[in-house]
Structures are given as structure tokens and as C-alpha cells.
Amino acid sequence: MKKYKWGIALFSAAFILSACATGEEAADTGFGEASAGEDEQSESAEDNEEVVVDEDSIPVGLLHSLSGTMAISETSVRDAVMLAIDEINEDGGVLGKEIVPIVEDGASDEPVFSERASKLLQQDDVAAIFGTWTSASRQAVLPVVEEHNGLLFYPVQYEGMESSPNIFYNGAAPNQQIVPAVEWLFDNVGDSFFLLGSDYVFPRTANQIIQAQLDDLGGEVVREEYTPMGHTDYNTIISHIRDTDPDVIFNTLNGDSNVAFFNQLADAGITSDDVTVLSVSVAEEEIRGIGAEVLEGHLASWNYYQTTDTPENETFVSNFKEAYGEDRVTGDPIEAAYFMVYLWAQAVEEAGSTETDAVREAAAGITFDAPNGPVEIDGDNQHVYKTVRIGEVQSDGQFEEVWNSGEPVKPDPFLENYDWAEAIQ
Amino acid sequence: MSSVAMQIFNGISLGSVLLLVAMGLAITFGLMRVINMAHGDLIMIGAYVTYLMQVIFVQYIPEQFFDWYFILAIPVAFIIVAGIGMLLEFTVIRHLYGRPLDSLLATFGAGLILQQLIRTIFGAPNVGVQSPSFLQGSLEIFGLYLPFSRLFMIGLVIVCLGGLFIYLYRTRQGRRVRAVMQNREMATCMGISSRKVDSLTFAMGAGFAGVAGCTLTLIGPIGPTIGLNYIVDAFMVVVVGGVGALTGTVIGALGIGVFNTFFEYWTNASMGKVLIFALIIAFLQWRPSGLFSMKTRSLD
Amino acid sequence: MSYLYSKKTLVILGFVILLVMPFVLAPFNLNLLGRFLAYAILALGIGVLWGYAGILSLGHGIFFGFGAYAMAMYLTLQSGGIPDFMGWNGITELPWFWAIFSNPIVAIVLAIAVPMLFAGILGYFTFRNRITGVYFTILTQALVIVVTTLIISQQQYTGGTNGITGFDTIFGYSLNSVTTQQMIYWTTVIFLGLVFLICYKLVNSRFGKVLIAIRDGENRTRFLGYNTSVYQVIVYSFSAGVAGLAGMLFVLQVGIITPSMMGIVPSIEMVLWVAIGGRGTLIGPVIGALITNGASTWFSQTYPDAWLFFIGLVFVLVVVFMPKGIMGIIATIQARRRAKKYGKDRKEETKLYNSSSI
């Protein structure tokens, strides 16, 4: 009598096993009784397959959070990668083959990132993965790409102290964003710093660097504050700012918290005339979420702004707007995501194959005229030479550049060329 | 001295935010025993309604009236979110009265749908709302800086509470609501349509979430997932205050607000959060049903 | 009703199918399945706690996380040296609460014992004070916030939001090799079987009957002379231990643990697996964990932009219209068949059927 119940229970168990197996090629579905129920899925999986296996195409993985809290930032980065892929394909692709993007959702969840990365490498056999944003998700993917000898192109500025042979870091290392900004602030604004950041790895490491650098320069950190992710009440922090009266607030808050902080700072009547806030995680897209009127006059340090004046940037911005809408803006991580696809494509052309070791070897010294200016892959640490730019927020939500480094700065993720940074390495 | 006074004000202002966020829950959870995990997402929708009002004003209304968008957004957010709440009640909650834990899980699912809906319509990135000019800046008094937006929120909370109080305790409809919540069967016997009361009460709770969302645009971000930032805090307020008592909710919100601010001021934001939640756990051991609770002789 | 079709045989058959999967599935899929099985163990613990004792904990993420962290700490230490993140934060000597995890046996014991002890202490106060139902549920949420915020803010000791990752060997074998992964998979299946067996014994014992009595009428049970809080503390602690075990097996297959996997949302999702599978059964949670995770993996790969609509809708529909989950549907179908066959009163049959307890 009870056999139906258990039969069905088993069937659904088998179904789920098969669900694990679909969406990929593997699964020579060997569990007899269940295979009937899953035909449909297998077929759709094969549809996917056809595109990928095609001889005239090169599959690449796009791994970003399209859902969850990080979707806020990462969807635009994905758009930029897609734009670059489309452009390259229009120009005839790489090695005469078409690049086929396979998009995966990391769902703002680290195990999902690592799972999808191994899916991309093992089942789709992608030539490279473009993706991740947070340090946590990059570190979740790192062991996977190292194990399978894959390639990850990472588009965001980060805390440094890392150099995996399987990752190309296209965002700024600390010495291409934080260190020059502190130096510039010290020379031009003042010597007492208030350090404010979200409670995670990037701000804490950044602030250690700033502390060491200020000790060397003779500046002073008046207070260091961290707020949990998703924190929305900055009144207490603002009280501390009033109490300590710093010249500069060095802001390493992440996206969401910036909105609360800047709004409340403006409400408290503290403007850029009273104290300068320099942010390292506020780009054009974040400004739209915060509101330009409360940010006006504050500073940011990046390698690229939408207003950066190069011919490449003009094309890039107009192409980006044409593809995704006139109201969209670009920004540093978006631009990095865009040019990193070109860097990869050039390295592949140079190597004559998509094989990881060959691409890595060919990549050293590759240059490209990116929207932010010329960039070059440093063969030693697989970071990128970039120009450092400090910009001031204007009332229209765009930046006006107030300083730049004049030439691309050599990446130094471990701060080896700075004596004061010894304790941090 | 002035820094202590400043912190007391900060605490009250945080309390007023918590109260705004929790007021809708105090109705849905406190009165109806429905654990509405989608409350945070209703707040989020209230915020997007405000954003939409701003967009409409920028496009169709002469510039000198721009500041009015915010004033208008409050009732509009209330009505729209109340409508969504009514829909939610009609489709989901209605089946779950008397199953509070199930209502928690089902509304969590509903919340996911709302989030994805907003993400599909408005896109994943945050959107920005410009505060009306009369709420920018702060009032300087005895060396204290009291931001207008915070004063406005405190005022709004008082107005909402007053309105709610009058509704519940001074109108016929409110009396019906209380009757149904205290003893559903008896109230139905007296000829009250409990269906109608449920629907209206839940809609009202949702409406207050809309107002909260609208107001929170003054201080916080607007994105598809902001609901999560507020939902747990809101539950804590209601539980600490005691279920079914508005006075309790008020004292719970102010208590948590003030304690949290001082903890944060003395330590740091993360430790402040840890301490306040640990305090809540300890407090509930002492008073399992919160500060104020309805005396009842019923036992399961 | 021949022997061949008895319940037991079919459960064993399912178990055997799981055991032979390594010969059938590609390594990647096997890893995925192994991960879901770790979730299934966790779901069993929650299933007993919620389905049989009526206690809904939205804080099982932290117990799961603790088990995972314990294993990850051991793996990190035996890969050699002190973890990188300590170095960046200027810590040069291993703190004692890390050092004890360098012994595998201690690590494994602690991964289960600490969640049990922690749950025991918290449960002792909470249940003694008669905090039950909704209040307990919300209290566990507060607990989640406390623990995750602490872990994130103490990043010099915990790795902060990045969590712990980057270990690649266990007992000298590479964690990523196919053979090791197969061994880990089999370990997971065996533990799943063991936990299932223990749960089965537990809920069908006298103890289990009292749990059901507490679920259906706590005060009545108390008036009958049972000290209900003792039962609740024990089952809560048991369930936490199972979660710790699951976490340990999880980290072996995923290779990373971060605080975001212990948060409020994952904790709610864990409970939803049980709801979807069917509460008040033991098969239900296992099937629920497998199906829900399998489906969300498949859906989010196929329709990455829209799968939240679907999963949200499923959560709502299951909880509202099928409170007994998949197992409930199966029972209903069966009852209907039986009614057709024997012309008996269908409703009564269903009712009888649902009270069986596996």
C-alpha cells in the first residue's frame, strides 16, 4: 500500500539528482527509472551546449551578482563586459572566432560564486571568467580558478595584498588610489584625518595603510570608525566628527551606507566647506543614488571618470549610452570591466590560443588605450598600470578632475616600494 | 554636557525612526498576530513611491512647486502601499490566521517577489531622492545641531501615533478592530464582519509601512533590498514593547533608540549593535512578553 | 504489501542510490549533490525541532556556521602557519581559541559540541522562562544578528566578511582531487543515513511522543506532569548539534565559509526547505532540501534574472496551500487512490495517514 508514497518520494529524489545534472553536459543520466521525467531539461541543456561547443566560438563566463544586495553595483559591470564583447565580436572576434558570453548569477552569496565558477570552468570550459566585485566573492572564486587553472578578470579597486597567477586585477591597487589620495590631501587640504568605513576587509586594510602613511608624513588620525553593513543611522558618527573637528574625512563606506552618511551629514549642516570628504567607493552610479546636491564639492579618488577627456572615452560613453539608455552613467569599475575584456582579447591574439598558461605569458606588457588613458598589464603581479585621478563632485552628478598623476602608476599591491608600509606587508 | 544632550536627541531621533518602521508591524503583528516578513519590502515600496512622485514632479509640475512632492508623497505612499497590503491580505494572509509561524514564511516569499518586481521595473541600482529644501540643514540651539529632517520625522511619528490612537480608541471602526483582535468569535457573534476588519487593519498596517518608507528616503538609501535593513529592528521594537500595546511599542522604540545611541557612542557601531541585541535577548528572558502585554486568561 | 515494497526497503534503496552516485555523476555534479546532502542533514535537524517539537528556530545558520568555521579553522591550520588575515591585522601569534582547532579530533568534537552547548544554555534560560512560539523565533533572529555582527567586527580573529577559505588539503590529501571529493561525498551520505536513523529512533521513542504532545499542546503536557522545558532544551540542543555536523561537511565540499551564510535570510531559507518537503516527517526535510536547492540552482542558471519570482511564488504557495509540503501531496494522492480502490472515506484515511511518523 505504501509503495506509492515511497515510489514517488524516490522519484522526486531522483528527479532532483537529475536537476543537479542538467544545465550542463556531463550527466550521462544513468539512473534508469528517473530518466524519463527529465528529458525536457536535458534538451534545454543541450540547447545551451550547442552554442558553446561550436568550433567557431570561444565561451567566456560572466559571473556577477544579479540578485541580492550586491546586484546594485554588479549589474552595470556586467553590462560593460557585454558591451565590450559585442564590440569585439563586431570587429571579427578573437582569433577569428566569436566570443560567446555565458552569464551566471552569483546571487551575492559566496558559495554560489565558487559553485558557479567551477561550473563555468568544468562544464562550460570557458576561456576566462569576467566577474566578482566584493573581496569575499573574489576570494571564493580564487581557489577554484587556481585549482582548474582558469583565468579570472577582476574589475574593482581593492585592498591589495594579493597576487594570484590566475587572476588579473584591473581595478586599482592601494598605491593607485589610496596612497596618492592621502598624499594629495595632506599637501592640499590638511593633516588631521577622520577614517570612516564599513566593517569589512577593504576599509580596515585601507585604514591601516593610511595610518602608516600619515605616521610617516606627520599627519594625524583623529578617529577611526567602522559601521556594520546596512547601517543607516550616522548621527552618532556625525557627533564624533563634530567633537574631533578633522580637516579630512577619508571615507571607505560601501555603496548603501554612503547614501545615509552623506544625507545625514548634509542635514547636520556640514558641507564640503567645513570638512572635505574623500571617498574611494563613490562613483557616478552611486552619486545618482545619493543625490548630487549633498555630495557637491566632496572628492573622490579613482582612475577614471565619465568626464575623463580622452577620445577613447568619448566613444565608450556614447556606445554605453546607446546600448543601455541615455540616462545611464559610466564609472571606474564599469570602465575597468570594459577594458579588461580588450586586454584579455589582445593577450589571446598575442598567444594565438585561449590556453591559460599561454595567455598569461602573452599578457605581460600588453597595452591598450582605455577610456581612462593608456593601461598596461604588469607581468610581475598581473595588476594594471593606471593613471590616478582625484575628482570633485559637480552639481550635475559628474566629476571634475582636480589632479592626476600625469602618467600611469605602476601597481604595487604589496606596497613593497614604500618604506613606511613595512609593518603591513 | 552638550554631547550627552546631543546623544539624547540622537537617541530619540533613532527611536522615532524605529517607531515609524515598527508602527505598521505593531498593528499587523501586535493586533493580528501575523508575522509579516514582507513589512520591510512594503517600506521599500513606500520609498519607491516617493521616488516616483519626484520623477513625476520633475517632469510635469512647474519647478517652484517641487518641494511639495514630498508632502504629497506621504499620503500617496500610504494609499498605494495599503492597497498592496490589502492585496497581500486577500491572496495570502487570509489563509494564515492562527498560523503565525506560517505567515512568517509565506510573507518572506511574498517579500522576495516584491523585491524582484521592483528590480525589474526600476533596475537593480539604487535611486536617489532629493530632500525638499525646507528639510535641509539644521536648527542650532544651545550649541546643539538638530537636523530639520529629524525634527520632521519626530513630528510625523507623533501625528501618526495620534491618528492611530484616535482611530483605535475613539471611533466605531476602531472599536470593532479591537473587538475582533481580542476575541474573534465573540466579535463575529455580535455582528461584526471580521473579514472586513482584517482586511482594513492589515491594509492600515501596510499603509504605515508606506509612510515609513517615504520618510526614510530623507536619511537612507532607496534600493530593492533595503527592507532587510529595517525588518529585524522593527520586530525587536514590537516584541520588547509587548504585543498588542501601542504604549509598549512607543517605549520600546525610544528605549532601543536611546540605548543603541549611547552604546554606539561609547564603543563603536558594530559593538553597539551587538550590545543592543544581546540586551534585548536578556530583557526577554526577564519579561518574556515584553514591557506591556495584554492580560488574558486564555491558554493554548 | 510484499516485503519488497515496505517503507524501510525503499528508504534503503534511496540510500543505496545515493551511495552509487559517484559512479554516475561527473565530479562537478557530485560536488553539488554532496553539498545539497549536507543541507539535507541540516534540514533533518530543523525538521525534528520544528516538525515534531513545534519550535521554529530562525537561527540555525549560526550553528551551521559554527560547525563550518570549526572545520575551516582546522583545515587552515593544517595547511600551515597562521592565517593570512591575522598577519595583515598585525597578529603574529595564534590565539588559544584557534590553536585548539589544530587537532582534528578536537575540531570535529567541538564543531558539534559547541553548538549543542550553546543551544543548551540559551534554551535552558529561554524555555525555562516559557518563551515559546513566535517570541522564541524572533529571539533567535536577534541571536543571529549578535553572532554575525561579532564575527564580522572581529575580523582579525575571524577573517571578517571574507570568511575563511583557501585551504586545499585534508589529512594530507588534496581537497580538490576527485577521489577525496568522492570520499567526502560518501562520508556525507553515511552521516545523512546515521542522522536519519537517530532521528527516526528519536521521534518514534517515548521521548518523541512527548515532543509531539508539546507541539500540540504545551500547557496540557505540562499539566500532565512533564517538565516540557527539559524536552525542549534537549531537542533544541540536538538540532543544533546536527546543524554543526552539517556545517562541517558543507565546508569540506564548498571550501569557504563566510558570515553571510549564517545570516537571517539563509536561516529562513533553511526552514523553508523543511516546509517545502513536509514538516512532521523525516523524509520531507531531506527531499525538501534536495529539491529546493536543486531547483534554485537550475532556475538561477537558466533564468538568472527571474528566478526570484518563481522561488518566492513557490514559498508562498507551499506554505499557504500545501502546509504539509511534498509529503502531504503524496499522502493525499495515496489516500485518494485508496479511497477509489476500497471506497472508504477519503478524509479519514488522509488524517490517519498523516499521523504516521517517518
Cα atoms in the 13 Å half-sphere on the side-chain side of C142: 28
Q: Which region among A1-15, A277-291, B228-242, C260-274 has the lowest average model confidence (pLDDT)?
A: A1-15
- The CA distance from A299 to the nearest CA of chain C, in Å, is 27
Looking at residue B251, its amino acid is I
Q: Chain-wide mean pLDDT for chain A?
A: 85
Q: What is the pLDDT of residue A117?
A: 93
Q: How wide is the angle at C-alpha B280 spanned by C-alphas B278 and B284, nearest 5°?
A: 120
User: What is the mean pLDDT of the segment spanning B137-143?
Assistant: 80
Phi, psi of A105 (to 5 degrees): -100, 120
- For residue A88, how many other CB atoms are within 10 A of its CB? 18
| Cβ within 8 Å, pair C258-A30 | no
Contacts of residue B171, Cβ cutoff 8 Å, sequence gap at least 6 = none
Residue B291 in domain: no
**Span B167-171, average pLDDT:** 91
What pLDDT sits at residue C135? 86
Whether the per-residue pLDDT at A255 is higher than 80: the answer is no
Angle between helices B148-170 and A255-267 (to 10 degrees): 100
Any B CB within 8 A of A243 CB: yes
**pLDDT above 70 coverage of chain B, percent:** 97
The yes-or-no verdict on residue A358 having pLDDT over 90 is yes
Closest alpha carbon within chain A to B257: A233
A235 closest CB neighbour out of B14, B218, B224: B14
Q: What is the average per-residue pLDDT within A70-98?
A: 92
Residue C253 has pLDDT above 70, yes or no: yes
Instruction: Return the pLDDT at A41.
Output: 37
Residue A410's Cβ-count burial label (10 Å; 0-12, 13-18, 19+) is middle
Structural domains of chain C sorted by starting position, each given as residue range(s) with its CATH number in brackets: 2-351 (1.10.3470)
All residues at 6 or more sequence positions from B97 whose CB lies less than 8 Å from its CB, including other chains: B32, B33, B34, B198
Question: So what's the pLDDT on residue C176?
Answer: 77
**B298, part of any domain:** no
Distance CA C131, CA A108 (A): 34
Q: Is the pLDDT of residue B260 over 70?
A: yes
Q: Which residues pair with A131 in a beta bridge?
A: A63
Ramachandran quadrant class, B171 (left: phi over 0; alpha: psi -120 to 50; beta: rest): beta
Q: Looking at the complex, does the CB of residue B106 fall below 8 Å from at least one CB of chain C?
A: yes
Instruction: Assess whether pLDDT exceeds 70 at residue A45.
Output: no
Q: Determine the Cα–Cα distance for residues A387 and A372; give it in Å rounded to an integer.
A: 7
Residue C217: φ, ψ to 5° = -175, 85
Residue B234 lies in a domain: yes
Q: B65 versus B18: which is more confidently predicted?
A: B18
Average pLDDT rounded to a whole number, residues B54-82: 89
Q: What is the mean pLDDT of residues B246-250?
A: 89
pLDDT at B299 over 60: no
Range with the poorest average pLDDT among A170-179, A205-214, C167-176: C167-176
- Is residue C233 predicted with pLDDT exceeding 80? yes
Indicate the range of A260-274, C164-178, C192-206 predicted with least confidence: C164-178
Q: Which chains touch B (3 or more CB pairs under 8 A)?
A: A, C
The length of chain B is 300
Q: Which three cell numbers stand for residue A163?
A: 597576487
**Looking at this predicted complex, what is its ipTM?**
0.87
Tell which of B92, B121, B277 to mutate to test the C interface (max C CBs under 10 Å). B277
Shortest CA gap A33–chain B (Å): 33
Q: Give the homologous superfamily in CATH for domain A175-307+388-421.
A: Response regulator (3.40.50.2300)
Choosing among C6, C256, C268, C269, which should be mutated to test the A contact, i.e. which has the most A CBs within 10 A? C256
Asked whether the beta carbons of B125 and A73 are under 8 A apart, the reply is yes
- Left (φ > 0), alpha (ψ -120 to 50) or beta: where does A411 sit? beta
Q: What is the mean pLDDT of residues C123-130?
A: 91
CB B123 within 8 A of CB A76: no
List chain C residues with CB under 8 Å of A208.
88-90
- Average pLDDT on A293-320 reads 94
Of the pLDDT bands very low, low, confident and very high (cuts 50, 70, 90), residue B52 is: very high
> Which pLDDT value is given to residue C358?
52
pLDDT for C345: 53
Q: Is residue B188 part of a domain?
A: yes
DSSP labels for C267-330? HHHHHHHHHHH-TT-SHHHHHHHHHHHHHHHHHHHHSTTTHHHHHHHHHHHHHHH-TTHHHHHH
The answer to the question of residue B217 being in a domain is yes
pLDDT band of residue A49 (cuts 50, 70, 90) is very low
In a domain? residue B72: yes
**CB atoms B119 and A71 under 8 Å:** yes
Q: State the Cα–Cα distance between residues C235 and C50, nearest whole angstrom.
A: 10
A40 has pLDDT over 50:
no
> Taking residues B258-267, what's their average pLDDT?
91
Mean pLDDT across B179-191: 86
What spatial distance separates the first Cα and last Cα of chain C, rounded to whole Å? 18
How many domains does chain B fold into?
1
Window from A40-44, C155-159, C206-210 with minimum mean pLDDT? A40-44
Which of the two residues, A41 and C198, has the higher pLDDT score?
C198
C25-42: average pLDDT: 92
Whose CA is closest to B217, among A269, A232, A293, A235? A232
Kindly report the CATH number assigned to the domain that includes residue B74: 1.10.3470
User: Residues 6 or more apart from C332 whose CB is under 8 A from it?
Assistant: C350
pLDDT band at C344 (very low <50, low <70, confident <90, very high): low
> Any residues with CB less than 8 A from the CB of A108 and at least 6 apart, and which?
A65, A67, A68, A69, A70, A71, C260
pLDDT of residue A11 exceeding 60, the answer is: no
Longest dimension (CA), chain B: 61
On whether the CB atoms of residues C254 and C37 are closer than 8 A, the answer is: no
pLDDT in tens, A324-347: 999 899 999 999 999 999 999 999
- Asked if residue C37 lies in contact with residue B82, where contact means CB atoms within 8 angstroms, the answer is no
Chain A residues touching B13 at Cβ < 8 A: 235
**Structure confidence at residue A28 as a pLDDT band (50, 70, 90):** very low
**What is the rounded average pLDDT of the residues A177-190?**
94
| pLDDT tens per residue across span A97-111 | 999 999 988 888 888
CA dist C246 and C196 (Å) reads: 13
Backbone dihedral angles phi then psi of residue A385, each to the nearest 5 degrees: -65, 130
pTM as predicted: 0.87
HSE at residue C103, side-chain half, CA atoms within 13 A, is 7
The pLDDT of residue C6 is 65
pLDDT band at B162 (very low <50, low <70, confident <90, very high): very high
| pLDDT tens-digit map of A406-420 | 999 999 999 988 888
Using a CB–CB cutoff of 8 Å, tell me whether B175 touches chain C. no
Mean pLDDT throughout A46-71? 72
CA distance A68 to A105: 10
Smallest CA-to-CA distance from C215 within C45, C54, C49 is with C54
Q: Rounded CA gap, B268 and A228, in Å?
A: 10
Q: At residue A197, what are phi and psi to the nearest 5 degrees? A: -150, 165
Please report, rounded to a whole number, the percentage of residues in chain B having pLDDT higher than 90. Answer: 44
Three cell numbers written together for B34: 501575523
CA–CA min distance C316, chain B (Å): 4
Backbone angles phi, psi at A138, to 5 degrees: -65, -40
Residue with cell 600619515: A214
Residue B105, domain extent: 2-286
CA-CA distance, C36 to A213, in Å (whole number)?
47
Give pLDDT, residue A72: 77
Inter-CA distances, A213 with A186, A424, C298, Å: 10, 11, 49
A positions 186-225 inside 8 Å of B (CB): 199, 225
Question: Chains touching chain A at 3 or more Cβ pairs under 8 angstroms?
Answer: B, C
Cα distances (angstroms) measured from residue C161 to each of A204, A275, A418: 11, 30, 28
Query: Residue B183: which pLDDT band, with cuts at 50, 70 and 90?
Result: confident
Question: Of B227, B260, B299, nearest to B8 (Cα)?
Answer: B260
